[in-house]
């Protein structure tokens, strides 16, 4: 028998499944018996911890829905998981925790290196569903439509047969099916965007219209783009996770993922091709999901981003740390209960108080080291979705927007501080943001005006005098945005 140290040098693989300790759960189906039915764009940690775990359960009863996971930019996921036969470990954090090896991803492709294989999968009649977690920026949207100046969109419109973007691939795959008389796939966006399916449909139609209006008409008529709401807190994988997983598995997993035990997935039940029997594995299917995604984006994600920026100004590291800071925890709770919930139309049957209690308990979970820096990424893409809709509704209802603007001003100070410390921002607008941040002099009217001039972020809102005044007041109140000033402002 191999000793523990030699087994640890072994890689997780289909052959090693039988040797796993009994405490580690693994697929209850034969990996060779399942067939690809889903193409997924963006197999990052969230997809692997959330959707792939649902599909893994599904495969035990229905072998037709295995996933072909396609990365649009980097080969990292493919190179980590292909040698493992697509297997990886999911760790559930906290009391209901445990390790589970997921087998749902049966094929891994890196689009820039294997474009033909991706296009062949998209044209395969057995693929009836294409899903996406490409993050907010991966949709190349600007306002309600597509960002036609986005370099990948410019490229794909000029060369639609050799796409680079998610939208370009979706259209190329649909075009191939249309020409060959193959039924289209349903396109299911699983990103944190309000009306994600509706917005993706607009982008796809706009793109298709520019290359072939008959194709666009067919897509408009025949392809379904259901909306969905996804929820599960998924901290990035770290060394502590890798060490735990390798220790408990007795072999090496190059890229395990982790999440809280809680997970929710609500999908609009509007499919144009066969639908996986998602209801069997705890997914909620509903005719109207707009209320759910609004509630989740505004309450959970809005509060998350608020904690991320104000917590970073307080030099805190994780969400649980931020929730242990009394002034910040109290502010965020007030923000959710008194500012966000009253301004937001919530779905029937959702009790705001109970929903907020549950979110706050999830944020407090000390078993989850969810770094504020991770949530702070891509603020220019996240804030419009998470906070500005609430602010717009609150203004329309004549409500006070000062607390909501404090969260936005927290982001501005965060950008300023990072830029002036020379710390790189992770954001598609990192360049312009850093330039604005470096030029800030701590004078509220001028600094706020420089941010508001970023049309891609603020366009529909920057002209509202009440919004601008509240933002300037909040920015000024945060002063130098040092810990003392932030604590003082939060307590007001
Ligand atoms: C977070 C989300 O990173 C972030 O911006 O707010 O990823 C959040 O953890 C998930 O949406 C929870 O479902």
CATH classification of the domain holding 102: 3.40.50.720
Q: Which residue has the tokens 């990948």?
A: 152
Residues contacting residue 42 through CB under 8 Å, at least 6 positions apart: 70, 71, 72, 132, 133, 134, 135, 138, 166
- The CA 229 to ligand 1 mean position distance, Å, reads 12
Residue 301 near ligand 1, beta carbon < 6 Å? yes
In this prediction the ipTM stands at 0.99
CA distances from 176 to 180, 181, 374 (A): 6, 9, 38
- The CA 176 to ligand 1 mean position distance, Å, reads 35
- Whether 155 is in a domain gets the answer yes
Question: Which of 287, 302, 331 is the C-terminal boundary of a domain?
Answer: 287
Residue 294 near ligand 1, beta carbon < 6 Å? no
The answer on 196 and 336 residing in a single domain is no
The answer on 335 and 242 residing in a single domain is no
- The CA 430 to ligand 1 mean position distance, Å, reads 20
- Whether 3 is in a domain gets the answer no
CATH of the domain at 337: 1.10.1040.10
H/E stretch holding 230 reads: strand 228-231
The answer on 352 and 246 residing in a single domain is no
What angle do helix axes 196-211 and 213-222 make, rounded to 10 degrees? 150
Whose Cα sits closest to atom 6 in ligand 1? 301
- Whether 430 is in a domain gets the answer yes
Question: Which of 272, 287, 302 is the C-terminal boundary of a domain?
Answer: 287
Residue 339 near ligand 1, beta carbon < 6 Å? no
What residues pair up with 108 in beta bridges, in sequence order?
Answer: 69
The answer on 354 and 336 residing in a single domain is yes
Of ligand 1's listed atoms, the one at least distance from the Cα of 386 is 6
The answer on 342 and 307 residing in a single domain is yes
The answer on 341 and 256 residing in a single domain is no
Contact in structure between 335 and 342 (CB atoms under 8 Å): no
Q: What is the pairing mode between strands 88-92 and 257-259?
A: parallel
Q: The whole model's pTM is what? A: 0.94
The answer on 351 and 280 residing in a single domain is no
pLDDT of residue 142: 85
DSSP letter string, 112-141: TT-HHHHHHHHH-TT--EEEE--TGGGG-E
- The CA 233 to ligand 1 mean position distance, Å, reads 6
- Whether 231 is in a domain gets the answer yes
Taking the C-alpha atoms of residue 101 and residue 44, their distance in angstroms, rounded to an integer, is 16
Whose Cα sits closest to atom 4 in ligand 1? 375
Residues contacting residue 3 through CB under 8 Å, at least 6 positions apart: none
- Whether 217 is in a domain gets the answer yes
Mutate to test the pocket of ligand 1, among 262, 300, 312, 382 (most ligand atoms within 8 A of CB): 300
The answer on 316 and 258 residing in a single domain is no
pLDDT of residue 288: 81
Residue 365 near ligand 1, beta carbon < 6 Å? no
- Whether 1 is in a domain gets the answer no
Per-residue pLDDT of the chain (492 residues; tens, 9 = 90+): 344 444 457 999 999 998 999 999 999 999 999 999 999 999 999 999 999 999 999 999 999 999 999 999 999 999 999 999 999 999 999 877 899 999 999 999 999 999 999 999 999 999 999 999 999 999 999 877 899 999 999 999 999 999 999 999 999 999 999 999 999 999 999 999 999 999 999 999 999 999 999 999 999 999 999 999 999 999 999 999 999 999 999 999 999 999 999 999 999 999 999 999 999 999 999 988 988 999 999 999 999 999 999 999 999 999 999 999 999 999 999 999 999 999 999 988 899 999 999 999 999 998 899 999 999 999 999 999 999 999 999 999 999 999 999 999 999 999 999 999 999 999 999 999 999 999 999 999 999 999 999 998 998 888 899 999 999 999 999 999 999 999 999 998
The answer on 262 and 354 residing in a single domain is no
- The CA 192 to ligand 1 mean position distance, Å, reads 8
Taking the C-alpha atoms of residue 374 and residue 392, their distance in angstroms, rounded to an integer, is 26
The answer on 320 and 274 residing in a single domain is no
Domain count of the fold of the chain: 2
* Full domain range(s) for residue 456: 292-490
The answer on 150 and 233 residing in a single domain is yes
Question: Which of 271, 287, 303 is the C-terminal boundary of a domain?
Answer: 287
Taking the C-alpha atoms of residue 41 and residue 47, their distance in angstroms, rounded to an integer, is 9
Q: What is the DSSP letter of 387?
A: I
- Whether 5 is in a domain gets the answer no
pLDDT of residue 95: 77
pLDDT of residue 3: 45
Taking the C-alpha atoms of residue 403 and residue 411, their distance in angstroms, rounded to an integer, is 13
The answer on 311 and 179 residing in a single domain is no
- Whether 4 is in a domain gets the answer no
């Amino acid at each position: 028998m191999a000793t523990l140290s030699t087994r640890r040098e072994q890689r997780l693989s289909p052959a090693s499944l039988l040797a796993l300790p009994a405490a580690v759960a693994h697929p209850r189906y034969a990996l060779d018996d399942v067939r690809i039915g889903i193409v997924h764009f963006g197999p990052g940690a969230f997809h692997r911890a959330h959707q792939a775990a649902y599909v893994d359960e599904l495969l035990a009863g229905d072998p037709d829905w295995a996933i072909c996971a396609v990365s649009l930019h980097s080969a990292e996921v493919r190179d980590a998981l292909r040698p493992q036969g697509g297997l990886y470990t999911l760790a559930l954090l906290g009391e209901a925790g445990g390790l589970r090896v997921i087998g749902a991803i049966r094929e891994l492709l890196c689009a820039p290196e294997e474009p033909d294989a991706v296009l062949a999968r998209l044209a395969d009649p057995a693929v009836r569903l294409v899903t996406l977690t490409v993050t907010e920026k991966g949709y190349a949207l600007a306002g309600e439509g597509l960002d036609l100046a986005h370099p990948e969109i410019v490229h794909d419109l000029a060369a639609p047969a050799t796409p680079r973007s998610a939208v370009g691939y979706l259209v190329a795959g649909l075009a191939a099916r249309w020409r060959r008389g193959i039924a289209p796939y349903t396109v299911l966006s699983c990103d944190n965007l309000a009306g994600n399916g509706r917005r993706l449909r607009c982008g796809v139609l706009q793109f298709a219209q520019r290359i072939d209006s008959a194709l666009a008409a067919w897509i408009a008529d025949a392809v379904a783009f259901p909306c969905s709401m996804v929820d599960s807190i998924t901290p990035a994988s770290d060394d502590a996770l890798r060490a735990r997983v390798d220790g408990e598995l007795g072999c090496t997993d190059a890229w395990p993922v982790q999440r809280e035990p809680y997970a929710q997935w609500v999908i609009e039940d509007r499919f144009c091709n066969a639908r996986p029997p998602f209801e069997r594995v705890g997914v909620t299917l509903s005719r109207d999901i707009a209320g759910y995604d609004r509630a989740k984006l505004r309450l959970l994600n809005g509060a998350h981003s608020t904690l991320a920026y104000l917590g970073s100004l307080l030099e805190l590291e994780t969400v649980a740390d931020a929730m242990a800071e009394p002034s910040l925890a109290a502010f965020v709770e007030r923000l959710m209960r008194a500012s966000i919930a009253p301004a937001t139309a919530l779905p029937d049957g959702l009790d705001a108080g109970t929903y907020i209690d549950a979110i706050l308990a999830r944020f407090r979970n000390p078993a989850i080291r969810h770094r504020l820096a991770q949530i702070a990424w891509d603020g220019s893409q996240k804030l419009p979705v998470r906070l500005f809709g609430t602010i717009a509704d609150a203004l329309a209802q004549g409500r006070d927007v000062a607390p909501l603007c404090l969260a936005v001003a927290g982001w501005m100070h965060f950008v300023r501080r990072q830029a002036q410390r020379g710390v790189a921002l992770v954001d598609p607008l990192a360049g312009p943001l850093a330039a604005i941040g470096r030029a800030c002099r701590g004078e509220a009217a001028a600094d706020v005006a420089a941010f508001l001039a970023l049309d891609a972020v603020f366009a529909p809102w920057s002209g509202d005098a009440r919004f601008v005044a509240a933002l300037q007041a909040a920015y000024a109140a945060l002063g130098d945005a040092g810990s003392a000033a932030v604590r003082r402002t939060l307590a007001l």
